Chains A and B, each alone.
Chain A
Amino acid sequence: MNTKDNSRREFITAGVLAGLALAGCATKKSPFDPDASEGVKPSGEMVKLLSVDGEVIEVDKAFLKPVPELPAVSNDIARKGIAGKKFVMVIDLSRCKSLKKCQSACNHMHHIHPGQNWIKVYPMQDSERTAPYWEPTTCMHCDEPPCVKVCPVDATFKRQDGIVLIDSDRCIGCRFCMAACPYSARVFNWEDPGVPEEVASKPYSCESSVPQKKGTVGKCDFCPDMVRQGQLPHCVAACPNGVFAFGDILEDTVTNGAETFRFSDLIKDKAGYRLMEDLGTKPSVYYLPPVNRNFPFENNEPKEEGKKS
């Protein structure tokens, strides 16, 4: 992302943090309580701040309050997506040894119900005599998404930047999208997902998919909240082996954090492919075949038979 965005974000983050710290010093009352400010006495200590108009202003320290947390973008903007972008992911199967750091980072950051996973790492063997390998799957963010087609209330939608998201404030929990998805990418909150109280009380954002709500569907969201901040999705950042590369197909660039590739060259040179191409769903996730693997395939999980369509 560009530097202007970055510096602005850092400034806001620093400001909020400073505000929190100062408010913490000033009063023990809840800073969100409207009555809290009435009892506050000026401390005489002034703090210099930059106003929204760009002027430097002085405010008494005692009156500083943290900004309540609001979703970074409105529902309307979250539904439209980031203009001029078309996100893709490339998953290099030759690098995966099923460490599942992607999975645990994803579960942790999205506060997914324990036991459920948005990212799954399958032990795969295409046929009896072919070599086994690990196949991590995310939501495929299809360009012809079967889930979006069947959703009766527009709770799951396709954005202009290619990302398929869920509006958990609108989802009615009919689970038609789960039946429609051939990649089994979707999970359902059968009970309260057990999100920590301070997260659960936040308003839901389609871009962070947090907090998950009882009776609605969840799935991998390509972390557009991170992307908006110029950062990589959690799974990409968490993988120590650089299995996941994320980027913008219009810029023809994908990166796993350490290395950056020209997307078209990568797909051409390594014979990239997509899952279940024959269904016509046109996924945004590409796979590089498990050739010249970095690690031997060792399956220490309870035995399960792998198969592939």
Chain B
Amino acid sequence: MENSTIQKITDDLLPQKFGKQGKLWVAFLSILCVIGFIAYCRQVYKGLVVTSMRDYVSWGIYISNFVFFVAISLVGSLITAVLRLTNAEWSTPLTRIAEIIAVSAITFASIIIVVDMGRPDRFYNLFLHGRLQSPIIWDVIVITTYFFISLLLLYFPLLPDLQILLKYKEKTSKGLYKLYSFLGSFWKNTPEQEKISNRAINILSITIIPVAFSIHTVTSWLFATTYRPGWDSTNFGAYFISGAFLVGAGAVIVAMYVFRAHYNLEKYITDSHFDKMGKVLVLLALLYLYFNVNEFLVPAFKMKKSEEEHLMGLFTGEFAAVFWFAISTAMIIPILILVFKNGRKPFPAFIAGILVVIGSWFKRYLIVTPTLLHPFLPMHDVPANYKHYFPTWEEWAIAIGSLAGALLIITIFARIFPIIPIHETIIETEQHEKA
């Protein structure tokens, strides 16, 4: 391949300094994070009383936000592992986007679960007195494992790119150069190193699939291992996994669109990528819809007394608006958009992706809260505000701050590292030209 082509690819994909837009965006996210942090300080000082959670609704948007983060992080395994192992080469430019979404989401899943704890100062008890029979311990184990595998899957493919970055010393600041050499100066791109790296990536791609399934299945078991109507379901593991792949794929489409527009990557993230990801999203939305039908139609057919209030609350009661909003924005409307060829063009696909992500966030809220408002024994002998739940500003600020924090990690990552793998793109272009 000509040197000029390589040069062109490298120039296009090297990380760029923040422009005015980028700086504004970073400032905006940072402010949201700071507000969230202030709210959390208030919570630490006063206790969880600053939230709207009370004895009946003892888990609120912190937990639904946690489930959301765990869900979205699953996309790392879908794009990097599942598509890689099935030789779907078109997904190469998307792997790093998916993997950084996974890493930042799982980081904030861990943070938000600590935020939800009444005694975060006793976090160490999980290691000191951990009991293997509790699903929370299972979650701690698999989430930690998933975090490290995802981090490695982000890091190993980055090594050849770090070597390229180190070549362009004049284009990087001193601090970044130091960071690059710390992370990747040992990488010489020898055939032997490449062999080891490829092998490692292959092994990790295989191991990450069961681990990814575990993190979200175990997360679903935090609910399904209880007796409560709405949670006591054998459908829950598969229901959660399918929903997780859906929201993760939606997030990747959104990120693809934003990076492509902002960094002018039309040559690397092409219309065909949106077309293919759009098809993937339709498939996943249909799958999730199927599990939703299972989850609601079967108990609704029987209408057991304990389930009735919960289900009617969702279908026609106080949660009906959110319920139908979530079902239509997370599944039905995106399917209707993406099932048509024109709907899979970048912009409509981007809109569908946003709808999926927003709808999925509210879907998680509906999984957690309504169930807690319908205990077996009626709500009684508690102050009136214990019988309702609407998050306080502190909860919103912390939840939004955590979402902003995840976006901030992705943004800063894209500033420091090439968001599209340079080395792999060059290699694939070479192979393409040979063929």
Contacts and interface: CB of A to CB of B under 8 A. Distances in A.
B119 A190 contact: no
B313 interface: no
Contact of B377 (A122, A150, A175): A122
A53 interface: no
B61 to A, nearest CB: 14
Given A189-B118, A309-B376, A175 B227 contact: no
A173 interface: yes
Contact of A215 (B55, B119, B125, B228): B119
Contacts of B382: 115-117
Interface stretch (A32-40, A65-73, A178-186, A227-235): A178-186
A186 B131 contact: no
B54 interface: yes
B55 A178 contact: yes
Contact of A178 (B58, B117, B122): B58
A214 B119 CA distance: 8
A45 interface: no
A121 B382 CA distance: 11
A152 B134 contact: yes
Interface stretch (B1-9, B42-50, B416-424): B42-50
Contacts of A137: 377
B59 A175 contact: yes
A304 B378 contact: yes
Interface string A126-166: 00000000000100000000100111111100000000000
A217 B55 CA distance: 10
Chain B's interface: helix, strand, loop or mixed, by majority?
A: loop
B119 A188 contact: no
Chain A's interface size range is: 35 or more
Contacts of B305: 307, 309
Given A122-B377, A173-B117, A188-B118, A179 B48 contact: no
A307 B126 contact: no
B55 A186 contact: yes
Given A154-B129, A189-B118, A146 B226 contact: yes
Interface string B41-78: 00000111101011110110000000000000000000
Interface string A289-309: 000000000000000111111
Contacts of A214: 47, 118
A190 B131 contact: no
A152 B58 contact: no
Contacts of A103: 381
Interface of B: 46-49, 51, 53-56, 58-59, 116-120, 122-123, 125-126, 128-131, 133-137, 140, 222-223, 225-228, 305-306, 372, 375-383
